[in-house]
Structure 1
Amino acid sequence: MEHDRIYFPGNPWPEGHPVERFRWSAVETDGDVWFGIHLKSARYYSERRVHEDEDDLSAWASPTLWNNYHSCTISTSEWHGGGFRVCEAAEFSPEFLDGLELLVDPNPETVEDWEDLAFQSYVLGHDNVAKHKIRFERIGDSKRFKIIWVGAHAQSYFGDDEFTQEFSVSMSSLEFPELNCSSSYRSSNLENASGMVCSHVLDEQAPILYVSRDKNEGMWRFLCGPEDHKAEQSREITLGEAARIDASLNALDEMSPGIGAARESATDEWTPFIL
């Protein structure tokens, strides 16, 4: 298994697919450390086009079907506030993590609401993943780690909730995540207030440079710039989650509806304006 790839055994690409983005985060909640992971693959056909030669292929083996869904995302944060517990905060260190193997959602049949799973996924449509085994291996004495991750996939988008398909991920060198406090938003009453963030920020392609509050509903928006964004580029986020991405947002905690703030770069001060 090569590094920095995701594999779906039995699909049309036995060589797997490149991982385009992988974000690994750690947050302290009530004295415990929880991990978040966001993975996005390159397009399934980015390295090799596969044509369908047979008419009776299963959905899992059909290149046409995989091509229609383009790429996969498996995430603890893209569609819900997921994640998984690692240890007590006092234990958290590179030494503790080295060689640690975690089982996440090992018994999905006992879960009543799929929203309670640690991860949500988009593979062949919005499916489900569970039965994860995630292992962390330290690289020498550095603060970098390899991650070996295997799990099971259910084709829920097609009405099949049985976790019969497998996937695996191998990442070669990831930075040990800095531990953040779960209550990162200065105004605790706004910690869980909902807002919208653009996918460019969430996928770490760009910093937050434009913030606004709708003058009618008061909805917060955290964007990479003032340009219009398509609906499919918007994701729901809490203010606490946004502040963990960029702590400078705390300076805007008293911003009223109908007001916005912008800056030229992530190191500049926020400049308020009226919408």
Structure 2
Amino acid sequence: MKKLKSNMESVSKIYFIDNPYPNGHKIEEFSWSGRIDEYGFIWFDFHLKTENYYANDDENSEDDDEELSDWDSKIVWGNYHACTLSSNYWGEQRGIRINKLDEKLDFDAVVKKDLFSNDLPSDQHFDDDDLAFNIYLLGHDSCAGHQIRFSKTENHQYDIIWTGKIALTYSGDDEFSHEFKAEIFNAEFEGFHYPKTWSLEKAAEMFKAKLANFEDYEFVDLNPKSNKREYKLDKLKH
């Protein structure tokens, strides 16, 4: 996972609305990639990890009010150290599907629109396996209702606004009553992966059938110093 580069004017952060840290938490790792699955569906994957919640906290600023909820208590946040929010970190294939099987995917058209996960559970049904992302927040909690907005900047980079809802399911609460907002600066799309069982020829055939403007992509060796050939499909930088 990539370490984020930042400057004084644009530090990537995630804010957990109304938690004890109104200034947010710096995002230390962020990645945005794509993949095609065995059925020809194409997905976006996102992964982020924060610094420790208390990284910029004053030594004597912890609360001692036992009546505070988990969400409001700095002591509770401190017990869980940092957040990981990801569609692929724990080995599961989640993420947000971005194509229709009967249409070629136009990457540039996709990132001009807001992306939605459409996975917020109803009152009658809640299955964690249906969610697009996993989250470790105050334990292994749940998140849904994601909205992701891209703003293209320079050098093939994007600023991203990512919002969603959180349920503290680790502590037994399945209500998505909390919210987050992540602001990510200068992110790069890292290319499309494909099943390891596919040959390079099959991958090329599948991508050509599913991606618009296939000529704007190239296969990149993931491990050029290794004897094992493994590739991803990336956009040409021009």
Relative contact order higher in (CA < 8 Å, ≥ 6 apart): 2
Identity of aligned residues (%): 36
> Partner of 1:180 in structure 2?
193
> Partner of 1:231 in structure 2?
none
Partners of 2:147 and 2:163 within 8 A in 1: yes
Alpha carbons of structure 1 residues 186 and 107: separation in structure 2 relative to 1, 3 Å: closer
- The Cα shift of 1:247 comes to 5.4
- How does 1:1-275 map onto structure 2 within 5 Å? 3-29=11-37, 30-49=39-58, 50-79=61-90, 80-88=92-100, 90-93=104-107, 95-109=108-122, 111-140=125-154, 142-181=155-194, 183-186=195-198, 267-269=225-227
After superposition, give the CA deviation of every residue in 1:154-193 in whole Å (9 maximum; x if it has no partner).
Answer: 0101100000000110101111231222x23358xxxxxx
TM-score (norm 2): 0.73
Partners of 1:97 and 1:136 within 8 A in 2: no
Q: Give aligned pairs, total.
A: 194
Tell me which protein shows more helix as a share of its residues. 1
After superposition, give the CA deviation of every residue in 1:185-221 in whole Å (9 maximum; x if it has no partner).
Answer: 358xxxxxxxxxxxxxxxxxxxxxxxxxxxxxxxxxx
CA distance in 1, matches of 2:56, 2:105: 42
Alpha carbons of structure 1 residues 164 and 131: separation in structure 2 relative to 1, 3 Å: same
Q: Specify every segment of 5 or more residues in structure 2 that has no aligned partner in the other structure, as ranges.
A: 1-9, 200-219, 229-238
Partners of 2:144 and 2:164 within 8 A in 1: yes
Which amino acid is the alignment partner of residue 16 of structure 1?
G
CA distance in 2, matches of 1:90, 1:101: 19
TM-score (norm 1): 0.64
Partners of 1:184 and 1:247 within 8 A in 2: no
- The Cα shift of 1:81 comes to 1.6
- The Cα shift of 1:106 comes to 4.2
Q: Specify every segment of 5 or more residues in structure 1 that has no aligned partner in the other structure, as ranges.
A: 188-244, 249-265, 271-275
Q: Give the root-mean-square deviation of aligned CA atoms.
A: 2.6
Which amino acid is the alignment partner of residue 68 of structure 1?
N
CA distance in 2, matches of 1:111, 1:42: 34
